[in-house]
Amino acid sequence: MYDLIIIGSGPAGLSAAIYGKRAGFKLLVVEKAPMSGGQVLNTYEVDNYLGLPGMNGFDMGMQFRAHADKLGVEFREGEVSSITDEGDKKLVVVEGEVLEARTVILATGARHAHLNVAGEEEFTGMGVSYCATCDGAFFKGKKVAVVGGGDVALEDAIYLAALCEKVYLIHRRDDLRGAQILQQELKALPNVEIMYSHTVTQIQGRDAVESVKIKNLKTEEESDLAVAGVFVAVGIHPDTELVKDLVACDEGGYILAGEDCTTTLSGLYAAGDIRRKPIRQIVTAVADGANAAVSAAGYINKNNF
Q: How many domains does the chain have?
A: 2
Same-domain check for residues 211 and 244: no
| 87 and 225 fall within a common domain | no
Instruction: Return the percent helix, strand and coil in the chain, to nearest 5.
Output: 25, 30, 40
Residues 13 and 66 in one domain: yes
Model pLDDT, residue 44? 67
Which CATH number is 190's domain given? 3.50.50.60
The last residue of one of the domains, among 211, 232, 253, is: 232
Q: Is the pTM of this model over 0.75?
A: yes
Which residues is 270 bridged to in the sheet? Answer: 106
Average pLDDT over residues 167-191: 96
Give kind and range of the element (H or E) at residue 281. none
Last-in-domain residue among 183, 214, 232? 232
Q: What is the pLDDT of residue 45?
A: 76
pLDDT exceeds 70 at position 132: yes
Range of the domain at 218: 114-232
- In this predicted structure, the answer to whether residue 54 has a pLDDT above a threshold of 90 is no
- The rounded distance, in Å, linking the Cα atoms of 301 and 59 is 36
Across 42-67, average pLDDT: 88
The average pLDDT across 51-69 equals: 93
Closest CA to 108 of 272, 289, 293, 287: 272
What confidence tens digit (pLDDT) does each residue in 92-129 have? 999 999 999 999 999 999 888 999 999 999 999 999 99
What is residue 263's predicted lDDT score, i.e. its pLDDT?
98
Task: Name the least confident of 47-61, 138-152, 211-225, 258-272.
Answer: 47-61
